[in-house]
Structures are given as structure tokens and as C-alpha cells.
């Protein structure tokens, strides 16, 4: 995120608080009550955002993690494409051997 984006988001949240405040006053709340409720709405929104952020961080479902996975997949795909047919057959035979060994261990 760029610095200007963070400034824009902060300004947007500040303006949203002001809009909530004015709207609540227009609905008939006193100045003090409108201030309390507009703050409560903004704090509630912040808590919801924080919970969603933590959920994405804990499940590693964030942009960086996705970019890293895509990069690793692309590198592996490029390496596979560069293998000669003989090397590819050898690799497939090794994988089959490991699968047989792994399935033999799980049956025991």
C-alpha cells in the first residue's frame, strides 16, 4: 500500500465519522449522543476489519502469500518444461517409487 493510499483511507474514515455524526443529529439525537454513537459505529467497523485481517493472516490467504505461491508454481513449471524426456521419465519413476513406499508404510 502506498502512503497516499493510507492517507486516503484515513481521510475517508474521518469523513465517514463526520457523516455518521451529522446523519445521527439529523435523525434527532443530541450532539453528545450522536458523537457517542458515531464513535461506536467506527470502533465496531475497526473491530470487524481487524477480525477479518487476522483471519486472513492466520489462514495465509493474503496477497503476499498468494504471489509467493504463484511464483513457486511458475518456477516449478518452468523447470519441468526444461527437463528432457529421459529426465522426466526418471523423475516420474522416482515419484512412483516414493508413492509405493508411502502406501506400503500406511498399510503396515
- Is residue 83 within 8 A of residue 91, CB to CB? The reply is yes
Closest to 81 in 3D by CA, of 52, 73, 53, 63? 73
Confidence of residue 1 (pLDDT cuts 50, 70, 90): confident
Number of H helices, E strands in the chain: 4, 0
Residue 105 three-state SS: helix
Predicted TM-score (pTM) of this structure: 0.56
Confidence of residue 57 (pLDDT cuts 50, 70, 90): confident
How many CA atoms, within 13 angstroms, populate the side-chain half-sphere of residue 68? 6
pLDDT at residue 108 tops 80: no
Using one digit for the tens of pLDDT, what is the confidence trace for 87-107? 888 988 999 999 988 887 766
What is the model's pLDDT at position 2? 85
Domain residue limits, the chain: 3-61, 66-107
Amino acid at each position: 500500500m502506498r502512503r497516499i493510499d493510507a492517507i486516503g483511507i484515513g481521510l475517508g474514515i474521518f469523513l465517514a465519522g463526520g457523516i455518521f455524526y451529522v446523519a445521527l443529529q439529523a435523525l434527532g439525537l443530541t450532539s453528545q449522543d450522536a458523537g457517542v454513537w458515531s464513535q461506536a459505529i467506527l470502533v465496531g467497523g475497526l473491530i470487524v476489519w481487524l477480525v477479518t485481517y487476522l483471519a486472513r493472516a492466520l489462514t495465509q490467504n493474503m496477497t503476499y502469500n498468494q504471489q509467493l505461491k504463484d511464483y513457486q508454481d511458475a518456477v516449478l513449471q518452468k523447470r519441468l518444461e526444461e527437463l528432457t524426456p529421459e529426465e522426466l521419465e526418471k523423475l516420474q519413476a522416482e515419484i512412483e517409487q516414493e508413492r509405493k513406499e508411502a502406501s506400503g508404510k500406511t498399510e503396515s
